[in-house]
Amino acid sequence: MTDPRDAVGDPPEGPAHEPAEAPPTPDGQRRCDLVLGGGGVRGWAHIGGLTALEDADFEVMRAAGASAGAVTGAFAIAGVPATTLRGLFEELDFTRFALSDVVGRLGSRRVVGRLVQRWSDDAATPLHWIHAILAEQGVETFGDLRVAGDDVPPQRRYRLVVRCLDVLQRRVVRLPWDYHRYDLDPDAQSVAEAIRASMSIPFVYDPVRIGNRDTGRQGLLIDGGLTSGFPVSVLDRPDADPPRWPTFGIRLLSRPEPQRDIPDGGLTLAKMMVDALLESNDQLEPHTERDERRTVRINVSDVRALDLDVEGDHDLFADGYRAMTTFLERFDFDDYRSWWRPWVRTTDDV
C-alpha cells in the first residue's frame, strides 16, 4: 500500500491559507474535536484522515462516533499514534473479526462445536481486541476519559461519545451521556463494551444488553450508524461563547450502483437489507450549513460497508488522507470563529 503523503497532489485552486491556526497547546500542537460516522470496513478512510490531522500537528481533544467511527475516535483520544493504528488495522483479519459472533453461536452447539473450536479465538473478537488496545493506553472505563471544565454540563464531561440505537426503548443512545437512563454510573462503564455495542450490525454482531437489572431499566443496543449520523455540533459548547478550537466531521460518502438482481435466498436478502441501511445513512447530508462548512467528505463509493475482502485498487486510507489534507489547506480558524453562532438545541441534544 502506497503512502499518500508521497503524492497528495497539487492544492486546489482558490485562496491559499496556512493550515488551521487553532490555539496551540503548550508543546505547539493545535487542538480539534472530531466527529466520525460509521462505515464498516470503510473505516480505513477515517484512519487516513486521522493521519493527515496528526501530520498537521493536530491533537484530538474529544471524539464522537458510531461503529467504525467510534473505534477510530476512541483510539485517537486514548493516545494511539495514527501510524500505530494503521498497522493494527493492516494486521487485522477482517473476516474473522466480523464473523466472531457467528462462530460463537455455532460453537455453542455440540454438533459443530469441535469444527469451529480451532477457528474461534477470543483475542480476535472485537470486544477483546478493542479492550486490549485501550488498556495498553490506560483506558478501561469512561472514568478514565473524564475531563474537568465548567463549559459543559457535568454528565457531558468526557472525551469520547459513542452513538448506539436502543431497539427496546426505540431511541438513540449516546454513551456515556445516557447511562443515567439505565441507572448506571458512567464512570464505571467499560469503554470497549460501549464501542462494541455501537458496532452491532444486525445479522453480523449480536446486540448488547445494557442496564440495571435490579431497577428494571434495561435496553438492547445495536449499531448507532444505522440511524442518521452525528451532527457535527454534538460536541459544541452549550453556551454562546465562541469555540476554543474547531470541530471537524468526517463523512464517508457512498454512491453505489443499485442492485438489480432479485435476492434468491434469505442470507442474500439479509445482507442487502443491512447494506441498504448503512448506505442510505451515509448519503444523509449535514444538518446545517455550519456543519457543512466543517465536514470533510471522503468518497468511498467503490467499497461497501461489509466488503470484508476489500484490497487492491481500493486504497481507503489514501482517500481519507487526501480529503483531510485538501480540507486543511483551505481551513482558517479565524474564519471559523467569524461565522460562529450560539449553540441551538436540536432533537439530537434531547
Per-residue model confidence as pLDDT tens digits over 206-228: 889 999 888 989 999 987 665 55
- Average pLDDT, integer, range 47-65: 94
Q: What are phi and psi of 92, to 5 degrees?
A: -75, 135
Question: Which of these ranges, 53-57, 70-74, 87-91, has the smallest mean pLDDT?
Answer: 87-91
What confidence score (pLDDT) does residue 40 get?
65
7 has pLDDT over 50: no
Tell me what the mean pLDDT of segment 86-106 comes to.
63
For the full predicted model, state whether its pTM sits above 0.85: no
At residue 155 the predicted structure's pLDDT band, cuts being 50, 70 and 90, is confident
In DSSP terms, which residues pair with 30 in a beta bridge?
A: 24, 58
CA distance 285 to 282: 8
How high is the pLDDT of residue 272?
60
Query: For residues 90 and 316, is the Cβ–Cβ distance under 8 A?
Result: no
pLDDT digits (tens, 9 = 90+) for 103-126: 444 444 444 444 444 444 555 688
Query: All 3 cell numbers of residue 86?
Result: 494503521
pLDDT of residue 197 exceeding 70: yes
Mean pLDDT of all residues in the chain? 75
19 vs 101, which has greater pLDDT? 101
Q: What is the pLDDT, as a whole number, of residue 8?
A: 43
Q: Give pLDDT tens digits for 291-347.
A: 888 899 887 766 554 454 545 445 888 889 999 999 999 998 888 888 776 544 444
Q: How far apart are CA 66 and CA 161, in angstroms?
A: 9
Q: In 3D, which of 244, 167, 241 has the Cα closest to residue 207?
A: 167
pLDDT score for 280: 53
C-alpha cell at 257: 450502483
pLDDT above 70 coverage of the chain, percent: 61
pLDDT score, position 91 = 81
Better pLDDT: 299 or 258: 299
pLDDT of residue 9: 41
Q: What is the CA radius of gyration of the chain?
A: 20
Cell for 204?
453480523
